[in-house]
Amino acid sequence: MVRKIVRYPEPVLRAKCRPVTEVTPEIRTLADDMLETMREANGVGLAAPQVAVDVQLAVIDVSHNPDCITFMKIDGENVDMMKNMPVVFLNPKLELGSAKEIGEEGCLSFPRLRGDIRRSSQIKVTYTDLEGKTVTVETDGLLARAFQHEIDHLNGILFIDRLNAVAKVGMKRKLARLMQEWEDDD
Ligand SMILES: [Zn+2]
């Protein structure tokens, strides 16, 4: 079932999400619904608070672009990214590489807004999957960026928070205009 994606400034987007202690049928349904909702919106990722549920669950799919990473490892073994999409992850712990790069991002909770965000170019993330198994993923490129963006959501952090100071000033006005447009969308 496609769920409604909440938009900024809905308070749930600022929630510090609760860990998932057990993979219940409700969690599986939520994950399925989030995948469907992300695809319908042509998104690369979606976090539970974006469908108004404050739990540490998010989904990512970067398979629209097979060349968006240079590597992906699962539990230390090189894998084919295309065969490992989508990723559904619970309770992530993120380790950031020291090298940074700037890339353009958007967010399904901010329709038509884009911003250049500086993030680690490489990450290691350990999470629980829907089978309750602990999984470690190392990667770079768009997949590393998507993990950082979605894990921020689970901590109530939004991509606009990570704009540089100059961009934040310009963003305020743009955001005010867009928020009016979003209301008109409904
Ligand atoms: Zn987002």
pLDDT of residue 85: 98
| pLDDT score of 27 more than 90 | yes
Whole-angstrom distance, CA of residue 104 vs CA of residue 137: 23
* Token pair in block for residue 138: 């190392």
* Token pair in block for residue 47: 């976090």
Provide the whole-model pTM.
0.97
CATH superfamily of 11-185: Peptide deformylase (3.90.45.10)
In terms of Cβ atoms closer than 10 Å to its own Cβ (0-12, 13-18, 19+), residue 4 is: exposed
Q: For the chain, give the mean pLDDT.
A: 97
| pLDDT score of 18 more than 90 | yes
115 CA to centre of ligand 1 in angstroms: 12
55 CA to centre of ligand 1 in angstroms: 15
The distance from CA 69 to its chain's CA centroid, rounded to whole angstroms, is 16
pLDDT of residue 184: 87
32 CA to centre of ligand 1 in angstroms: 18
113 CA to centre of ligand 1 in angstroms: 11
> Which SS3 state, helix, strand or coil, does residue 179 take?
helix
148 CA to centre of ligand 1 in angstroms: 10
- What DSSP line would sit under 14-54, residue for residue? G--PBPP-S--HHHHHHHHHHHHHHHHTT-SEEEGGGGT--
Q: What percent of the chain has pLDDT over 90?
A: 96
pLDDT per position as a tens digit, 39-81:
999 999 999 999 999 999 999 999 999 999 999 999 999 999 9
| Residue 37, CA distances (Å) to 2, 6, 30 in order | 5, 12, 10
Whole-angstrom distance, CA of residue 11 vs CA of residue 41: 21
Cβ atoms of residues 45 and 79 within 8 Å: no
79 CA to centre of ligand 1 in angstroms: 26
Q: 25 preceded by cis ω (within 30°)?
A: no
Within 10 A of 134 (CB to CB), how many other CB atoms are there?
11
Q: For residue 131, what are the contacts with CB-CB under 8 A and spacing of at least 6?
A: 23
**150 catalytic per annotation:** yes
| pLDDT score of 91 more than 90 | yes
User: Which position among 10, 40, 77, 150 bears the catalytic label?
Assistant: 150
| pLDDT score of 33 more than 90 | yes
155 CA to centre of ligand 1 in angstroms: 12
| pLDDT score of 185 more than 90 | no
pLDDT band for position 149 (50/70/90)?
Answer: very high
